[in-house]
Structure 1
Amino acid sequence: MTDPSASQEHGPDSREVVRNWAITGIFWILVLGALSLAQGVFVPIISAFVLALTFSPVRRVLEGFGIPSSAAAGMIMISLLIVFCVLFYFISEALQEYLIDAPTFAEEVRRELSGLFGTIEPVLKAGDQIDALTNQNKQQTVALREPGFVSVMTQATPAVVSQLVVTLTLSFFLMASGDMFYEKLVQVMPKLKDKRRALAAARTIENQLSTYLFTISAINATLGVIIGLVMWLAGMPNPLLFGLGAFLLNYIPYIGSIGGISITLVTGLVTFDSTIQAILPALLYWIINTIEGQFLTPVLVGRRLKLNAVVVFISFALWAWVWSFMGMLLSTPILLMAKVVSDNVNGLESFGKFLGDRDDLSGSDSRLLKFVFRQKDRSAAEEA
């Protein structure tokens, strides 16, 4: 007979471990479901906190000149509104021409792509003829046209504007309150050690977020200017739109650069008759973006933001699935905040180590890895 008390001393039952993992998995599934369903609430709140943390150092600099917190927050928000309005004006002016000529542009794109893939055109036509013959005797159905781009944008504009208003308003109140958040954080922590750790984590999040976003914005602005000039020299239509597009798309990890190159390639194919001249702008875009992504950004940002590249991509895919476009923009700031919190909370240090970039191994860990790989290589050699 086995003693139940003896088994409990050796550790938890395997069924208990499975049960705990199942409960944890269900909890995180429910959290992701709630975040996805209530994105109209969570996205403006998190965006407002990111903006407030980013511009808090600017607010403190203004306060150093004797400007009150509310006035400093107002100056920052007015500056942001001016920037948003200027960007919206230039983008709307540039897009207006493309929206007017959208049907003609789409037909030209279809014709150019069909010319590139002309070898499969007979196969496609044969498939269409077979479908037509098959569906001759079928009952006729009424097809409902899906809403076009303009109608979709018209329907989405009120929601976007309302979320933007909530984000900017909440950001203003957070910055106008000064350092009240830090004061409340100190008051709710029970021990002096916890107070210091919480303050250190909050200040680290603020410093890293502001440094990261300001640096990325400067890099993206430089990239946009260079792309606009290169598109102008290459003879592309409306190079200003390409420069603004490169500036905005580069905030989206991975997908932004691919989208910019693809749009440039399609526009070049429609604009120019020569294949080399049509592909050249997209090639130049790719070269400039590669130099920025592989050399400039790692040097300026990588030393401050040490995150696991695989985890960055997983975070991007996860938040893009949960919050679509805004999730793409917020994925890296959210991951950065999670890394700092994990590094400063007891029990989460291992998770923070996993989120970080590669570190130097200790002597024992290095010897263990060498021993394991040596054993695997020896077993593979014996099997061969």
Structure 2
Amino acid sequence: MVSLSMLPQESPSSPGQDAGASESEALPTQAVDNVEMPLPSSPQTFFLGSLLTLAVLAAVYVASSIILPVVLAFVLQLILQPAVDLLERIGLPRTVGALLAILLVVGALVGFVAALSVPAASWAEKLPDGLPRLETHLVVLKRPIEALQKVVQQAEHVADSPGKKEPTVSVRRDLGLTGVLFAGTRAVLDGLFTTVLVLYFLLVAGDIFLRRIVEVLPNFADKRQAVDIFQQIEADISAYLLTITAMNGAVGIATAAAMYLCGLGDPLLWGAAAFLLNYVPILGPLLGTVIFLLAGMLSFDSLWWALLPAVLYFCIHLAEGETLTPMLLARRFTLNPVLIILSLVFWFWMWGVPGAILAVPMLAILKIVSDRVRPLKALGHVLEG
């Protein structure tokens, strides 16, 4: 890794410069903030910046099948890079260390999916027998749903009544369920192959990109700023992902134990579901609450007992999401919660579930860069919680 000690040292400052620095430190906070967070004053700059942002987002959306695996590989590289560096320090070649780290991750993922396949299949077999029980629990909502359907039908009738149009015949090519599943599986496998390939060469290359950027930058201040941004991103994002993974594991274990105690069955499946859903802030736990509510209604005859799995899961998430995780991450991440929600919704629309998982790390990277690049400091201040 390129460290600050590898860069050339600055020449010592003169007494006049020290006096100027002390005078700037003595300025009021408001004046310093105005100097450090400049806003674009030219309408042309703002307009061109907006056009550039829209063009980049359009390119990211159109080329999502290529860009998403690359972004995922860069994020995974932040996690696996310290392990590869450690293996290199103990004498293992970097190419072998990178391959070993990737094989361990892929093997863990395959084992995780294989372990969940059996309980998931058993629940698929139980589903037809549990549907009558679910209908019994949802009988309270039957009348409101029927009333809503009547209102929708009346609205459609009123909308169609003014002008009678000839019926149109639409021809749609349906690939069938097998074709859809094959196309989806192929897209996932292509994305995984691209991610693994890019990740391997990123781990083998190490900090070669940072070294080349430092060599290209013209002066010492820019070189030091580039190293500082890279080190901060690597430290903060790695700490975030490792902390979230550890907390998600604790949530999964607690959820599995709670589901076993309340008699839901297949605690491994529910613990894994809680572990995966917790990677998506806010939206993931909400979806998990709905899933556990439906699972309880499919499993138990009593309505109050059917609500217990969802209540237990919600309490576990409340204890983790409102106390433990914020306490562990408060020093590194103070992001605006409203912007977190908007980022989740936006990246889920752009890239689906992987985009929702990557939304917070990408927002944190944007804040780290904005806090250290002077023209973007106003944006970094807006992103702060």
Normalising by structure 1, we get a TM-score of: 0.79
Tell me if 1:53 matches 2:68: no
Letter in 2 for 1:117: L
Distance in 1, matches of 2:98 and 2:63, equals: 28
Secondary structure class of the residue paired with 1:258: helix
Cα RMSD (Å) = 3.0
Question: In the alignment, is the contact (CA less than 8 A) between 1:94 and 1:238 conserved in 2?
Answer: yes
Tell me if 1:265 matches 2:289: no
Q: 2:214 is matched with which residue?
A: 186
* Compared CA separation, residues 194 and 153, structure 1 to 2 (3 A): same
Deviation at 1:22, TM superposition (A): 3.7
Segments of structure 1 that go 5 or more residues without pairing to the other structure are 1-15, 358-384
Structure 1 counterpart of 2:253, from 214, 225, 250: 225
Distance in 2, matches of 1:193 and 1:20, equals: 25
Deviation at 1:107, TM superposition (A): 6.2
Q: 2:344 is matched with which residue?
A: 316
Secondary structure class of the residue paired with 1:247: helix
Tell me if 1:302 matches 2:330: yes
Deviation at 1:42, TM superposition (A): 0.6
Residue pairs, 1:172-211, within 5 angstroms: 172-211=200-239
Distance in 2, matches of 1:171 and 1:296, equals: 31
Q: 1:334 is matched with which residue?
A: 362
Q: 1:346 is matched with which residue?
A: 374
Deviation at 1:66, TM superposition (A): 1.8
* Compared CA separation, residues 251 and 153, structure 1 to 2 (3 A): farther
Tell me if 1:88 matches 2:113: yes
Question: In the alignment, is the contact (CA less than 8 A) between 2:347 and 2:359 conserved in 1?
Answer: yes
Question: Higher RCO, 1 or 2 (CA under 8 Å, sep at least 6)?
Answer: 2
- Greater alpha carbon shift after TM alignment, 164-173 vs 118-127: 118-127
Residue pairs, 1:64-143, within 5 angstroms: 64-102=89-127, 109=134, 111-112=135-136, 114-120=138-144, 123=147
For these two proteins, the number of residue pairs brought into alignment is: 338
Distance in 2, matches of 1:36 and 1:328, equals: 14
Normalising by structure 2, we get a TM-score of: 0.79
Q: 2:64 is matched with which residue?
A: 39
Q: Percent identity?
A: 31
Question: In the alignment, is the contact (CA less than 8 A) between 1:57 and 1:210 conserved in 2?
Answer: no
Deviating beyond 6 angstroms after TM superposition, the runs of 4 or more aligned structure 1 residues are: 124-131, 138-150
Q: 2:383 is matched with which residue?
A: 355
Question: In the alignment, is the contact (CA less than 8 A) between 2:336 and 2:383 conserved in 1?
Answer: yes
Secondary structure class of the residue paired with 2:375: coil
Question: In the alignment, is the contact (CA less than 8 A) between 2:131 and 2:298 conserved in 1?
Answer: no
Deviation at 1:123, TM superposition (A): 4.0
